[in-house]
Amino acid sequence: MLMRLVFRAIRRGGTVLCAIGVLGAAGHVRAQEGAPPSTALSAHAPMAVPPAADVIRHHGALSIRSRIAARDLVRVPGNPPMLHSQGAGAEAGVYHRMLQDGVAWFRAVLGHDSEILLAVLDAADYPWPVPYPTPFAEWASGLIVMPRHLDSHPGFDRWGLEAVPLNAALALHEAGHIIAEQTGRRPALRWLDELVANAFMAAFLQARHPELAAILAGVPPAFDDAGRLRRLLEFEALYFDMGQENYAWFQFHIARLAGYAVARVPLPELLDGIAAAFATHPQTEPDWTDIPGQIARLESVIPGIGEQIGALADVALPEVTPGPCPDSLVPPAGAELAILENRDPAAVLRYHRHGIVALALMIDALGQPGRALDPTEAEIRAAVADGTHAPEVLAPGAAAVIRWGDLLYLEDGRCLVASDAPSARLVWTAP
């Protein structure tokens, strides 16, 4: 159904793209109510809709590892072993060597024997739906997927880093996700999950590869403009949905923080301290939006980290409160993210999203030959008013993340309208 919709959407240009974006956002809301979702994947870049994590959930046993195993790849023994695309042997050998050295070092430092498989793939073998060249870990199966080349990553030309050593180092980051998971120390919070993965990489680089220190030096100056969203709260809310370049901007910052951390706290103590102070998978943090509280807890594990986090700690998003409904939706060009907060202590918030209702009407029309696919504004409003579409609900005190640029029709008759800020808090209390 999704693929059919996609084909129709491509034919219909902007309408289809809008529909696909809305689908992704809808999944995000469900996943994020109350707490951030657990992801089966850790990625260095945004993924096309549907997110790969959802693909794994929906297809059960059909993991990316099982799909890769069916391909015609070169198999190389080792600890961990490796698969690589035909013709990618030279680059794969470099990444494999670094990963084997790193895993042996992690085993010596942590006393844990991990189950890992490395796959180094060129673009033709890259597993849908992860976009090439996005390194990622499928932690449930112990699989690390590295691209053959990293230099086609958006923004790479502004990093000032050598592609092959950087990619080799990132394999250690992905190994960190898997080992943290396999030892029960993988944080539920996304930004801490990335900090822990980067701590594995940073600890090994500081011990064995000081010549690669630039990877831990923070955001390359020429790349700073990629930080359109610049708050950990925004990273926690959107993760790789924020776009590849902005996501990479955060990873440079988090790698810098990890370098600071492991220079002061030995890796085993760091992992144990974070696991003791925060929820680990499959648990969730009770309040994922409380970035200041999280930083205060992290300070007890890594003294001085709060000062290093600096402006990333800001949580003062512009606030939008309910008002009269506009005559039509004019999506603001700059809006990317909204955190919808039900601040009422007792009342449930019920609302309809303009984009979701429009999509539902479009899907209805697909089965009716001759009917126009694009619903009019009047049809959308009628569908909201007549009660045939169930509202989305948000419990008292809960928060949800939505990709923004939309309009919320509230059951109390008011509307929440997007501002042009990149991110905002949409704040509701019962009238």
Residues in contact with Zn ion by CB under 5 A are 42, 194, 197
Q: Give the SS3 label for residue 417.
A: strand
How many whole angstroms separate alpha carbon 293 and alpha carbon 278?
11
Q: What is the DSSP string of 367-378?
A: TSTT--SS--HH
- State in angstroms the smallest separation of the CB of 283 from Zn ion: 19
- State in angstroms the smallest separation of the CB of 85 from Zn ion: 22
Nearer to Zn ion, 165 or 187 (CB): 187
- State in angstroms the smallest separation of the CB of 359 from Zn ion: 31
Residue 263 burial (CB < 10 Å; 0-12/13-18/19+)? exposed
Q: Which residue has its beta carbon closest to Zn ion?
A: 42
Residue 122 phi/psi, 5-degree rounding, is -85, 180
End-to-end CA distance of the chain: 40
**Number of residues that this document lists for the chain:** 431
- State in angstroms the smallest separation of the CB of 334 from Zn ion: 27
- State in angstroms the smallest separation of the CB of 178 from Zn ion: 10
DSSP state of 420: S
- State in angstroms the smallest separation of the CB of 8 from Zn ion: 35
- State in angstroms the smallest separation of the CB of 203 from Zn ion: 15
The beta-strand segments (E) located in 232-365 are: 319-320, 337-342, 349-353
How many whole angstroms separate alpha carbon 66 and alpha carbon 75?
15
- State in angstroms the smallest separation of the CB of 251 from Zn ion: 7
Nearer to Zn ion, 256 or 425 (CB): 256
Nearer to Zn ion, 197 or 359 (CB): 197
How many whole angstroms separate alpha carbon 285 and alpha carbon 301?
17
CA angle 203, 265, 235 (to 5 degrees): 70
Nearer to Zn ion, 42 or 85 (CB): 42
Q: What is the DSSP string of 62-116?
A: --HHHHHHTS--EEE-SSS-EEE-TT-HHHHHHHHHHHHHHHHHHHHHH------
Nearer to Zn ion, 31 or 197 (CB): 197
Nearer to Zn ion, 82 or 255 (CB): 255
Nearer to Zn ion, 56 or 418 (CB): 56
User: What type of residue is 209?
Assistant: H
Nearer to Zn ion, 49 or 201 (CB): 201
CA 267 to chain centre: 24
Of 246, 241, 250, give the one whose Cα is nearest residue 54: 241
Nearer to Zn ion, 200 or 288 (CB): 200
- State in angstroms the smallest separation of the CB of 321 from Zn ion: 36
Give 24's strand partners: none
Q: What does the block give as tokens for 422?
A: 């990149």
How many whole angstroms separate alpha carbon 70 and alpha carbon 85?
12
Give 400's strand partners: 340
- State in angstroms the smallest separation of the CB of 194 from Zn ion: 5
Nearer to Zn ion, 125 or 194 (CB): 194
